[in-house]
Structure 1
Amino acid sequence: MSEPVLSLRGLTLSLPQGADRPYAVEEVSYDVERGEIMCVVGESGSGKSMAANAVMGLLPKGVRPAAGEAIFDGQDLLKMTEKQHRALRGLRIGMIFQEPMTALNPLMRVGAQISEVFEAHGRLTGKERQSRALELLTEVGIPQPEKAIRAYPFELSGGQRQRVMIAMALALEPELLIADEPTTALDVTTQAQILELIRDLQQRHGMAVMFITHDFGVVAEIATRVCVMREGRIVELGSADEVLEHPRHPYTRDLIAAIPGSVIPEPRGGEMPAPLLEVRHLQKVFRSRGGLFKPSREVRALQDVGFTLAPGETLGIVGESGSGKSTLGRCVVRLERPDSGSLSLSGIDFSALTGESLRRERRRVQMIFQDPYASLNPRTRVGMAIAQGPIANGVPRPKALARADELLELVGLGGVADRFPHEFSGGQRQRIGIARALALDPELIVADEAVSALDVSIQAQILKLLEDLRQKLSLSLLFITHDLRVAAQICDRIIVMQHGRIVEQGTARDVFLSPQADYTRELVDAIPGRGHALVGS
């Protein structure tokens, strides 16, 4: 058997003094062979990305190699200088990052950024670089590559930006490709396309791929072998079939069980009461003014949207980016005002309210946002962040702060009111966001992609928390997501949206297991792990 492309042997990375554990990665050993996709799986803090950073020479400040080796072509990457690492990066080891918008230069055209890879390593002439950039964009399946090569990153969709990152990573045909959570932020159909693209390119170029993820559904789609990590250590290592079909470690079994949609609950029975929310013929159009070189645009975000939501019911709104689902949620909480149609809240025309009457009724409808860190003031202690809404509505400060303590206890974070947002994990911050949404005792909560940025096991905990709170507080939930798996796990009914219109609605079980619309079937077919009996039973 040939030598592995990458061999980690006892890799140990120490954390700075005062961290929650001494080592980010401890005694980690595995190989990545030519022509295989090694999936490294684990939650945030497992060390999976830190090992990749060590390979690339991109360790964060304060983290340093303490023991072990990372052998690539007979050389220990851990002992290389920054200059030696720079010579390898891009040329022989390529990397795709999770968020292409932060990895791409927003002020440079796409073609120039790909050409820069060749320039950094002294490859090709100026004209040849541009020609090769166009070939790469074509190879990774970007539509209209001649137009995309002249575009800036913000002019491309998330999936297209990720394809640009893949083109850059493959530009110099590296022997090893490291993909760090490259599909986490993408819609399921775009995710499926990117996974297929990486698999096809890997087979075509014969590369070794180190694919980092927290989602076993993705593992089922792409992995040759699997390494499962927890708190810096390997807990399981084996072929994809072995790990998926016969997981040995309880943690591995927990991660597989946490895949959303693995069990679809039966619909709740009983007669539905009069609706709490009634939406009729909602329309919303966004118009952008043209400029000297830019034509004006008109986007029909909502087109004749109508549905009802009963007290105590959870209704899922599912669709890809651009489907109108988030615009719908913002209209329901009155962050946007529809152009026409009506939103009736217990018989009151909520969409027509203004001034004091709107402020009075608005407390009944609250929102949980996708990114709780962005929606929390980093300089405000979390107890006060939760109390601000009630204080603004006339609740005395001591009473509002006491209620904030109670709500933090309710969401499983008792005794933390004096801490700041940065002191919490992503899942904990989302719990704080939920507590804040509950502070005004609403009847309806709109959760906009509230779990999409979380690890699957944390995601499962937040979904359970929302369901427990719905029952305990008799809440109605409007649950907005791009992931049909997640919606099927928590929702009574599901509405599927495409291009601002409702294309299908029904019980969660019917929509997930027996989709009627072509678009819904595409969403179901694109679910990672769907073909491996990991979801939908």
Structure 2
Amino acid sequence: MTDTQTPLLSLRHLSISLPKGADRALAVEDVSYDVFRGEILCVVGESGSGKSMAANAVMGLLPKGVYASGGEAIFDDQDLLKLSEHQHRTLRGLRIGMIFQEPMTALNPLMRVGDQIAEVFEAHGQLSGRERQQQALALLTEVGIPQPDKAIRAYPFQLSGGQRQRVMIAMALALEPELLIADEPTTALDVTTQAQILELIRDLQRRRGMAVMFITHDFGVVAEVANRVCVMRHGKIVELGEADEVLKHPRHDYTRALIEAIPSNVIPEARGAETDTALLEVKGLSKVFRSKGGLFKSAREVHALQDVSFSLVKGETIGIVGESGSGKSTLGRCVVRLERPDSGTLSLSGTDFMHLQGESLRRERHRVQMIFQDPYASLNPRHRVGYAIAQGPMANGMSKAQAFAKAKELLALVGLGGTDDRYPHEFSGGQRQRIGIARALAMEPELIVADEAVSALDVSIQAQILELLEELKQKLSLSLLFITHDLRVAAQICDRIIVMQHGRIVEQGPAREVFLAPREVYTRELLDAIPGREHELADA
């Protein structure tokens, strides 16, 4: 039960200033909200809304050059904004815990998991060495890590993404804090793992009676966990209220836009392909990754693909869905020839695409292009985006003048006209993904493989990119192989769905059939794990 009388944390007229030259003067402007004991407050907004900055101010973790320029952050009668670094260190972990979005960057790659949890107790002078290890094991057990006695001796890279996130939760809860701040803790996770982490946080919050500030951009997640909701935009609060009221009767246009941007559970009618002529045929594709043994690890064999067969006709979009480790990205990389399958066949309009080599491969390769999950990592930061797009056509014999003219046309086509002389860091995540799409289109492909192309984006930007892909597909007569772990996204854009698990296809068929009448238990589990699926949101 929420204690509505005494807030544990109160932000009062908080303002946070950005360095000179930033896109705006204030990251957070005159923000006030409370977090009560025993509740989950979801702070929602897109990238740049200021939602994480407010949390970092509470934790004393603002980046260099960014500072709280006004207001208060009252926690148990003390203003957190006035604490010294030493006082903040004492408070962090002990009374306020934090779960970060990307555990791989927050965990020390050179320390065993158990030692990192034990270090939390050591930093606060609690327990003996043996007791710290015992408590670390108990915490790993509490957060549901499989085989905790083995996990405690593992290094972060030896754990899955969901397991690493559970380790972060164990560390955040080690000293039994009164307030837990969870900053986008499920954004990069599969739907099933995401559902498990949300249930874990909800369960721990209830059992321990904590207050939770849950930061997210996804209203589907809000529907699963929130008691109250605070919606932020451009550093300001636009809506604040009980979760049920905000979800079903949003007052602000921006809140309605965020809710409407959530991929719907309503499956569009089948569109059908332009023709029944097969563009891509995959038969019996298999791929095994082998790692050699060493001093600290044994040799491993991972069967990433096992006897995978399907065909894609011209003008069709096929969704490849599944959890991490299902083989879906390996399949995409094999199709674009970034990986070489061990066996099977892969043909493109009747051409044996799998065994092409040298000049023959170079001539045909333009027909299949890839859009990557992280466009920033796939763009050279030293090259202007016009050059990045023109590179491919120039390598295929197009003159420099023609290639740069084409780059300008393509940037205009994806909604970024006049930006060809800018560098990747000058664009937002959604804009960089548009650049990735333009670069793929520069080669005039027949088939585009989109590998988790929208998974790292805010839901509203995600909706724009999906709409753009659909428009370009119709305009340019493209076919798409759309790889995703988010079934809501697949439902909006795909004609057919292929569900993968452990390197095998477990189900495939028309999108409506797979979503509305799944035959396999695994497919039903994926659908049941979609956040917000059981909650009716505002009418679109």
Query: What is the aligned partner in structure 2 of residue 282 from structure 1?
Result: 285
Report how far residue 271 of structure 1 moved: 7.3
Query: What is the aligned partner in structure 2 of residue 334 from structure 1?
Result: 337
CA deviations on 1:120-147 (whole Å, 9 max, x unpaired) are: 1111111111110000000000011110
Matched, 1:243 2:246: yes
Separation in 2 of the partners of 1:516 and 1:234?
45
Q: CA 1:269–1:422 in structure 2 vs 1: closer, same or farther (change >3 Å)?
A: closer
Q: 2:41 is aligned with what amino acid?
A: M
Separation in 2 of the partners of 1:272 and 1:192?
39
Q: CA 1:161–1:327 in structure 2 vs 1: closer, same or farther (change >3 Å)?
A: same
Tell me if structure 2 keeps the 8 A contact 1:504–1:517: yes
Tell me if structure 2 keeps the 8 A contact 1:263–1:535: no
Report how far residue 426 of structure 1 moved: 0.4
Tell me if structure 2 keeps the 8 A contact 1:4–1:32: yes
Matched, 1:175 2:178: yes
Query: What is the aligned partner in structure 2 of residue 524 from structure 1?
Result: 527
Separation in 1 of the partners of 2:307 and 2:537?
36
Decide which of 431, 436, 455 is 2:434's aligned counterpart.
431
Tell me if structure 1 keeps the 8 A contact 2:179–2:212: yes
CA RMSD of aligned residues (A): 1.3
Tell me if structure 2 keeps the 8 A contact 1:260–1:535: no
CA deviations on 1:11-42 (whole Å, 9 max, x unpaired) are: 11111122211210111111000000000000
Tell me if structure 2 keeps the 8 A contact 1:70–1:78: yes
Matched, 1:294 2:258: no
CA deviations on 1:419-452 (whole Å, 9 max, x unpaired) are: 1111110000000000000111000000000000
Query: What is the aligned partner in structure 1 of residue 167 from structure 2?
Result: 164
CA deviations on 1:460-504 (whole Å, 9 max, x unpaired) are: 000000000000000000000011110011011110000111111
Q: CA 1:252–1:219 in structure 2 vs 1: closer, same or farther (change >3 Å)?
A: same
Decide which of 189, 209, 218 is 1:186's aligned counterpart.
189
Decide which of 36, 58, 62 is 1:55's aligned counterpart.
58
Decide which of 234, 239, 250 is 2:237's aligned counterpart.
234
Q: Alignment identity in percent? A: 81
Separation in 2 of the partners of 1:178 and 1:73?
16
Decide which of 218, 222, 227 is 1:224's aligned counterpart.
227
Q: 1:350 is aligned with what amino acid?
A: F
Matched, 1:410 2:413: yes
Tell me if structure 1 keeps the 8 A contact 2:248–2:537: no
Q: Secondary structure at the match of 2:425?
A: helix
Report how far residue 287 of structure 1 moved: 1.1
Report how far residue 292 of structure 1 moved: 3.4
Report how far residue 261 of structure 1 moved: 2.8
Matched, 1:481 2:484: yes
Q: 1:451 is aligned with what amino acid?
A: V
Q: 1:169 is aligned with what amino acid?
A: A
Q: 1:413 is aligned with what amino acid?
A: L
Tell me if structure 2 keeps the 8 A contact 1:302–1:324: yes
Separation in 2 of the partners of 1:300 and 1:500?
6
Q: 2:25 is aligned with what amino acid?
A: P
Decide which of 13, 30, 34 is 1:31's aligned counterpart.
34
Report how far residue 507 of structure 1 moved: 1.3
Unaligned runs of 5+ in 1: none
Structural mapping, 1:133-532, within 5 Å:
133-269=136-272, 272-532=275-535
Q: Secondary structure at the match of 1:5?
A: strand
Separation in 1 of the partners of 2:307 and 2:513?
23
Separation in 2 of the partners of 1:52 and 1:207?
16
Decide which of 83, 86, 102 is 2:86's aligned counterpart.
83
Separation in 2 of the partners of 1:474 and 1:210?
46
CA deviations on 1:78-103 (whole Å, 9 max, x unpaired) are: 11111111110011000000000000
CA deviations on 1:326-353 (whole Å, 9 max, x unpaired) are: 0000000000111111111000010111
Query: What is the aligned partner in structure 2 of residue 131 from structure 1?
Result: 134
Higher mean Cα deviation, 349-358 or 261-270? 261-270
Separation in 1 of the partners of 2:132 and 2:86?
23
Separation in 2 of the partners of 1:415 and 1:446?
27
Structural mapping, 1:83-102, within 5 Å:
83-102=86-105
CA deviations on 1:174-204 (whole Å, 9 max, x unpaired) are: 0000000000000000000000000000011
Tell me if structure 2 keeps the 8 A contact 1:262–1:535: no
Tell me if structure 1 keeps the 8 A contact 2:184–2:214: yes
CA deviations on 1:138-157 (whole Å, 9 max, x unpaired) are: 00000111100000000000
Misfit runs of 4+, over 3 Å = 269-272, 534-537
Q: CA 1:271–1:24 in structure 2 vs 1: closer, same or farther (change >3 Å)?
A: closer
Aligned positions, number: 537
Tell me if structure 1 keeps the 8 A contact 2:273–2:313: no
Separation in 2 of the partners of 1:261 and 1:236?
23
